[in-house]
């Protein structure tokens, strides 16, 4: 297939690009390199089945050009990371909404199958766990900037589903849960590479809040495998699908595990998250996916445990920071 990956020089996109090229697909990566890195795909540039185009999804004429003759679009380009969202909310909202609308509008002209990357953030503060794709969403107040990202990605989903129902555009929506692995950058607020970077330097590991909040971390190779299976699943079209791991760990436990696996002498400290993100920040206590739908659709479940994920990141030496 001829496949376009927007945001393909980023963390998830670069891993996916390598997998699809290895499988013999002709892959074009379209990325503005604002958070992605050209070094993530450097070994692919110049090879027969790979093309890199630098540009933004906000530039409609360029999007039209890169989508020409494609069989599939995997739309990963978006503003990412809590810190970036808190620092630049307006830019992030426009990038997510306008960029996704451009991709879907152009894909619709030739009915190009499109996979839209969404996020577990859309579940908001819902305390019913695990999160099922049809569960209600509970958002914080608009004064809390943190929720702007969740709302923009939820609107991306609404737009995609509207194109599916009204225009018969084949779309698949994937909600990612805390994906981790080599090449993930720490400076945008990603907790695992931040903890590992601090531990390897022997610096204090700062936990924002009391650390009792829990997350389910998904290893990048598992997530890429899920995406590859969904690409070829006709029954996934028109669906919203959780992609993640359903084994939870508290942030306190995560910090202790990182210190142990890095054999670090780092100490753990707790700080008020408002000192980092400002008064417009708000956190959720737990994020855990219900994975029944993806298991039924493509017989997929995550296989990499959190300790093995952390070991792989440490051994790779590639935190892209």
CA distance 125 to 46: 45
Please report, for residues 1, 67, 223, 229, the alpha-carbon distance to residue 26 in angstroms, rounded to integers and kept in the order given.
6, 13, 20, 17
| pLDDT of res. 103 | 98
Q: For the chain, first and last CA: distance in Å?
A: 33
> What are the b/e assignments for 189-217, b being 16+ CB within 10 Å?
bbbbbbbbbbbbeeeebbbbbebebbbbb
Burial of 279 per CB tally in 10 Å (0-12, 13-18, 19+):
exposed
Strand partners, 117: 174
Q: What are phi and psi for residue 180, nearest 5 degrees?
A: -135, 160
Domains and CATH numbers, the chain: 2-180+218-246+287-302 (3.40.50.720)
Count of CB atoms within 10 A of residue 299's CB? 9
How much is the pTM?
A: 0.94
Q: Which of 57, 70, 64 is CA-nearest to residue 30? A: 57
CA distance 287 to 264: 28
| pLDDT of res. 69 | 95
pLDDT tens readout for residues 38-51: 999 999 999 999 99
Taking CA 230 as the corner, what is the angle to CA 112 and CA 239, rounded to the nearest 5 degrees? 75
| pLDDT of res. 319 | 67
Just list the catalytic residues: 149
Residues of the chain with pLDDT under 70: 81-83, 188-189, 280, 319-321
CA distance 51 to 67: 12
Tell me, rounded to whole angstroms, the distance of Cα 206 from its chain centroid. Answer: 23
| pLDDT of res. 185 | 84
| pLDDT of res. 86 | 76
């Amino acid at each position: 297939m001829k496949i376009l990956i927007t945001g393909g020089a980023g963390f998830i996109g670069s891993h996916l690009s390598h997998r699809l090229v290895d499988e013999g697909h002709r892959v074009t990566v379209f990325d503005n390199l604002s958070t992605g890195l050209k070094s993530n795909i450097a070994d692919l540039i110049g090879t027969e089945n790979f093309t890199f185009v630098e540009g933004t999804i906000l530039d409609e004429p360029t999007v039209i050009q890169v989508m020409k003759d494609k069989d599939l679009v995997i739309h990963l380009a978006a503003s990412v990371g809590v810190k970036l969202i808190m620092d630049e909310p307006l830019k992030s909202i426009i990038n997510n909404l306008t960029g996704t609308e451009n991709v879907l509008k152009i894909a619709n002209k030739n009915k190009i199958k499109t996979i839209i990357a969404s996020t577990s953030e859309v579940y908001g503060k819902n305390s019913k766990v695990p999160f099922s794709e049809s569960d209600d969403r509970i958002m914080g107040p608009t004064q809390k900037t943190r929720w702007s990202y969740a709302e923009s990605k939820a609107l991306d989903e609404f737009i995609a589903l509207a194109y599916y129902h009204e225009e018969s555009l084949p779309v698949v929506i994937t909600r990612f849960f805390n994906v981790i692995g080599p090449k993930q950058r720490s400076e945008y607020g990603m907790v695992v590479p931040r903890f590992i970077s601090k531990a390897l330097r022997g610096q204090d590991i700062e936990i924002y809040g009391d650390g009792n909040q829990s997350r389910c971390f998904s290893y990048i190779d598992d997530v890429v495998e899920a995406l590859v299976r969904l690409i070829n699943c006709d029954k996934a079209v028109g669906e919203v699908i959780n992609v993640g791991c359903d084994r939870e760990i508290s942030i306190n436990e995560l910090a202790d595990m990182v210190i142990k696996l890095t054999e670090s002498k780092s100490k753990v400290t707790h700080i008020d998250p408002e000192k980092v993100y400002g008064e417009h920040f708000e956190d959720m206590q737990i994020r855990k996916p219900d994975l029944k739908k993806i298991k039924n659709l493509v017989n997929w479940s995550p296989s990499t445990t959190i300790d093995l994920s952390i070991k792989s990141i440490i051994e790779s030496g590639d935190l892209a920071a």
